[in-house]
Structure 1
Amino acid sequence: MRTDQPVLSVVVPMYDEEDVLPMFFERMHPLLDGLGVSYELVVVDDGSRDRTAALLLEAAKDWAQLRVVRLLRNSGHQAAQSAGFQRARGEFVVTIDADLQDPPEVIAEFLATARERDVDVVYGVRSDRSSDSWAKRTTARMYYRLMCRLVGKQIPFDAGDFRLVSRRVVDAVNALPEDGRVFRLVIPWLGFPSAEVTFVRAERAAGATKYSVSKMVRLAFDGLTAFSAAPLRLATWLGLLGGGLSGLFVVAALVIKLTGRSVPGWTSTVLAVSVIGAIQLLCLGLLGEYVARLFQSSQRRPQFLVGYDSLEDPGHHTVTESVEAPARDMP
């Protein structure tokens, strides 16, 4: 394995991105070559089902700095980023998605800002969300406000996974024992000196988004439960509220009984049972989420498994042989 350390590592998680790859190569290759620094492009193929891996390995034949890391199965966007962080060797590491919504040209500004201002983190912050729907803008604002209250005010609004970090930050993140980390929360939480670079996000260059609404909700909930016990406290307060409501129902029932105005009926009973039952189920669900995280953590299963890394394979395989290599390496 080579021991030389490039100045820059660009980590790109990919999943079923064969449609956008030609445009990605067309923009990224000359841009990185023109930065004037040594670099590696670490593309983490997150168990793609299409021709993404084959196209990557074909391109790597003529692009020495392109490094292909293939996971044995689809493990998720954040897990693919974790794999990239563990494999990246650069003094600086940039994470960017393959869809070209985040402009690769900003990478040069990231580098310049990190060096001029001597910071460890440079966030790419969207300067304009007018292209998003009202619902998406509103939910995004609510998400960042909530995360700022839970994690700290150092979280920049409208900053996703497009950022530059120094080697110190990479080593600190890799040393964290937790699984299922959410990078847009973990990195600000570490507290390293940071700066921001604004940019305008474009439309996806090709293909379809891999982040459905359910995945976005899951990411938000993972971040919430990983960084705060607030949901458990919410369950406690809801339990107290339910107890208070139950007490009021009992007092009201006794007053009505003693005054002789009680009328047989089911409305009040259904209302009481529904309210208390809903609160109990919500509390049980919140408790279950935390128990599930503890259970997953106790299993100590790896977040991802790397099946192939082109840097560690000095041989010259054909595309077909390289794609099949991870299956032969499975235990």
Structure 2
Amino acid sequence: MDEPHLSIVIPIFNEEQRIKPSLVKILDYFQNKPFKWEILLVDDGSKDQGITLAKETLHNKVEFRIISYGDNKGKGYALKQGVLASRGKFILFTDADLATPIDELDKMLPWFEPNADNSGYDIVQGSRKMNGATIERHQPWLRESMGKVFTWLSNNVANSHVSDVTCGFKCYRREIGHRIYAAQQLYDWSFDSEIIFIARKNGYKIKEVPVHWHDVRGTKVRLIKDVVRSLKGLLQIRINDWRGNYSSLDSKLASFESIVTDYPEN
């Protein structure tokens, strides 16, 4: 099969209210794009009809795959499966709610290309917190404040050095994304910090770009519980690094065993 230019990875957990409108927007956006692309939907233990609606929406419109493993294992685990199954030259991770509109991708892909100043970036990710970003609808005050605290801790404990750790709109060169996610070990809210830590440790170049963003109600985050767990995760990142778990990325990639993937007829 021809290699896609872009793979889009979307974690799905009980998204029947949001997935169809989001997929329609994605299909509309890519309708006139001059390159081949694919969608990978990772079913993280959904109990609703979201995956069925997704199949109906995508059928005969684009090459897509469903990855399913039964139990809810967390967004980080879902992304690991989706990224490592991706075949595109570039891999985009986006949340199912499209809180960052899909057309913001136009701002990201050019940064992978070499120019007079550098040889191109390895990772390009959206930021809601840098100059030029536009927030149409803010998160509730407590959640937004906790996110800022977590970003500060992530920058100081896990050496993230980015303005926005948890924005759900990130793009990778395939070979870089595969190496990084093969070494990933954390699957709760702290996985974002771990991914950036692994990238920094191995010398990969990260570019942040300001994006348009709006809060979509109905988050699956259990604020206090997930924040406490994620703070523990930041410390676990340091322990994992001390144990050497974030080195020799190619050997970790070689040993990764992917989840069985369902290829629907389309």
Instruction: Give yes or no for TM over 0.5.
Output: yes
Superimposed CA distance per residue, residues 21-57 of structure 1 (whole angstroms, 9 cap, x where no aligned partner): 2211220002123332211111111121111121122
Within the candidate set 48, 51, 55, 1:50 is matched to: 48
Q: How does 1:137-176 map to 2 (within 5 A)?
A: 137-152=144-159, 154-157=161-164, 159-176=166-183
Within the candidate set 96, 108, 111, 1:110 is matched to: 108
Residue 15 of structure 2: aligned partner:
17
Q: Does the CA contact (< 8 Å) of 1:86 and 1:174 recur in 2? A: yes
Within the candidate set 185, 190, 196, 1:188 is matched to: 196
State how far apart, in whole Å, the 2-side matches of 1:219 and 1:34 are. 43
Superimposed CA distance per residue, residues 165-224 of structure 1 (whole angstroms, 9 cap, x where no aligned partner): 1123212224417354844213322221121111131132xx722112145325523432
Residue 223 of structure 1: aligned partner:
233
Superimposed CA distance per residue, residues 280-328 of structure 1 (whole angstroms, 9 cap, x where no aligned partner): xxxxxxxxxxxxxxxxxxxxxxx99845421xx6xx49xxxxxxxxxxx
The answer to whether 1:119 aligns with 2:121 is yes
Q: Does the CA contact (< 8 Å) of 1:93 and 1:164 recur in 2? A: yes
Superimposed CA distance per residue, residues 83-115 of structure 1 (whole angstroms, 9 cap, x where no aligned partner): 111211111111000112111111122112222
Superposition TM-score, scaled by structure 2 size: 0.78
Q: Does the CA contact (< 8 Å) of 2:80 and 2:184 recur in 1? A: no
Superposition TM-score, scaled by structure 1 size: 0.64
Q: Which amino acid letter does the alignment assign opposite residue 162 of structure 2?
A: I
Residue 290 of structure 1: aligned partner:
none
Structure 1 runs not aligned, ≥5 long: 230-302, 318-331
Q: How does 1:146-295 map to 2 (within 5 A)?
A: 146-152=153-159, 154-157=161-164, 159-176=166-183, 178=185, 180=187, 182-189=190-197, 190-191=199-200, 192-204=204-216, 208-214=218-224, 216-228=226-238
Cα separation, partners in 2 of 1:153 and 1:77, compared to 1, 3 Å: closer
State how far apart, in whole Å, the 1-side matches of 2:31 and 2:232 are. 37
State how far apart, in whole Å, the 1-side matches of 2:29 and 2:44 are. 24
Residue 291 of structure 1: aligned partner:
none
Helix, strand or coil at the partner of 1:201: strand
Cα separation, partners in 2 of 1:18 and 1:180, compared to 1, 3 Å: closer
Name the Cα RMSD after superposition. Answer: 2.7
Per the TM alignment, residue 64 of structure 1 is displaced from its structure 2 partner at its CA by 3.1
Q: Does the CA contact (< 8 Å) of 1:125 and 1:157 recur in 2? A: yes
Number of equivalent positions:
236
Percent identity for Structure 1 against Structure 2: 22
Cα separation, partners in 2 of 1:179 and 1:201, compared to 1, 3 Å: closer
Helix, strand or coil at the partner of 2:162: coil
Superimposed CA distance per residue, residues 244-297 of structure 1 (whole angstroms, 9 cap, x where no aligned partner): xxxxxxxxxxxxxxxxxxxxxxxxxxxxxxxxxxxxxxxxxxxxxxxxxxxxxx
State how far apart, in whole Å, the 2-side matches of 1:10 and 1:215 are. 29
Per the TM alignment, residue 116 of structure 1 is displaced from its structure 2 partner at its CA by 5.1
Residue 309 of structure 1: aligned partner:
262
Range 77-86 or range 126-135, more displaced: 126-135
Cα separation, partners in 2 of 1:153 and 1:87, compared to 1, 3 Å: closer
Cα separation, partners in 2 of 1:307 and 1:74, compared to 1, 3 Å: farther
Q: Does the CA contact (< 8 Å) of 2:74 and 2:187 recur in 1? A: no
Cα separation, partners in 2 of 1:39 and 1:69, compared to 1, 3 Å: same
Per the TM alignment, residue 159 of structure 1 is displaced from its structure 2 partner at its CA by 4.5
Q: Report the structure number with the largest CA radius of gyration.
A: 1
Q: Which has the higher helix share?
A: 1
The answer to whether 1:41 aligns with 2:48 is no
